[in-house]
Amino acid sequence: MRITQLELPKCQVGEGPVWDVEEQALYYIDILDKRVMRWDPASGDHCGWDVPDLIGSMAVRKEGGAIVALPDGIHTLDFTSGAVAPLAIMDPVNPDTQLADGKVDRRGRFVFGASHRQAKEPVGGVYSLDTDGTINRLDHDVILGNGPCWSPDNTTFYHADSMRHMIYAYDYDLETGAASNRRPFFDTSAYGPIPDGATVDTDGNLWTAICEGGVVLQISPEGEVKREIEMPTRLPASCMFFGPDLDRLFVPSIDPSFLGRDPAPADGACFVIDGLGVRGLPEPRYNG
């Protein structure tokens, strides 16, 4: 196994990586820089698009372009013109929350969290943007939502409340998009305070970045730590398998300057972990 710092621009808050199998390109966001980035590992090309407000997550859209989670709802992003337009606005818009980490399920729905802006009150939740453009609430009582992902058989949905140091598991009905029976899956307190972005490999193991803990964990479906990988930064923010064989792990990170803290040299950088001996699952596109 080896960890390499990539020659990509540093982020303020690097988050939400998505590997698009069709394009063989990796998308990710910078929340505070209000920007979506695209990196082509084969050619080295790197480009980006500005969005008008804080961005919590994004997904590539089946019919072209992307959707982006801004504080008031989900918007479309046109890759050609850079135009951003409303698609589905939260009803009501809560000024105390902002939209957070999100991913697409295998029926093409976009499932995303909402977090308290000061990460103190449990006023957030988990929501689903269906393919017909309607938003449905799947859960409530969330302080800081992160790391949505699914088991390979689509029956278990994972979602973290970072401020509670807890990754939860839900029963998931892929046909209806309903999530139920929320239960504790893994308490990250022993490894660091903030379970952040996550993904699942083909064997059903969950991989999560522990922000402020400086590690990436591989956790079995039974909730046992199989691997603890120390990163060159204490602030890894997410992880996503990428590459032609989905066997490389992309890990963006955070620069703590916006918190008034001096960054370490690797803070805000993007990394790749090679030689893990596992593969990830293809990420679907939003089908609406």
For residue 53 the two structure tokens come to 């407000």
Q: What is the pLDDT of residue 27?
A: 98
Q: pLDDT by residue (tens digit) across 58-92?
A: 999 999 999 999 999 999 999 999 999 999 999 99
Q: pLDDT by residue (tens digit) across 149-166?
A: 999 999 999 999 999 999
Catalytic residues: 196
| φ and ψ at residue 40, rounded to 5 degrees | -100, 105
Q: What is the pLDDT of residue 192?
A: 87
CA dist., res. 151 & res. 212, Å (int):
26
For residue 284, is it within any domain? Answer: no
For residue 101, is it within any domain? Answer: yes
pLDDT(177) > 90: yes
Max intra-chain CA distance, the chain: 47
For residue 211, is it within any domain? Answer: yes
Q: What is the pLDDT of residue 79?
A: 98
For residue 94, is it within any domain? Answer: yes
Q: Provide the mean pLDDT of the chain.
A: 97
| Mean pLDDT of the 90-99 span | 95
What's the total number of domains in the chain?
1
The 110-116 sheet, strands edge to edge: 97-104, 110-116, 124-129, 135-142
For residue 288, is it within any domain? Answer: no
Q: What is the pLDDT of residue 193?
A: 87
For residue 281, is it within any domain? Answer: no
Q: What is the pLDDT of residue 161?
A: 98
For residue 34, is it within any domain? Answer: yes
Range of the domain at 66: 2-274
Cβ-contact 238, 198 below 8 angstroms: yes
Q: pLDDT by residue (tens digit) across 102-140?
A: 999 999 999 999 999 999 999 999 999 999 999 999 999
Q: What is the pLDDT of residue 43?
A: 97
pLDDT(6) > 90: yes
Per the listing, tokens 């992003």 go with 77
**The residue count for the chain:** 288
3-state helix, strand, coil in the chain (%, to 5): 0, 50, 45
Q: What is the pLDDT of residue 256?
A: 96
Q: pLDDT by residue (tens digit) across 201-217?
A: 999 999 999 999 999 99
| Mean pLDDT of the 18-44 span | 98
Q: Helix count (H) and strand count (E) of the chain?
A: 0, 24
Residue 236: helix, strand or coil by DSSP?
strand
Q: What is the pLDDT of residue 85?
A: 98
Domain CATH number, residue 180 = 2.120.10.30
For residue 141, is it within any domain? Answer: yes
pLDDT(251) > 90: yes
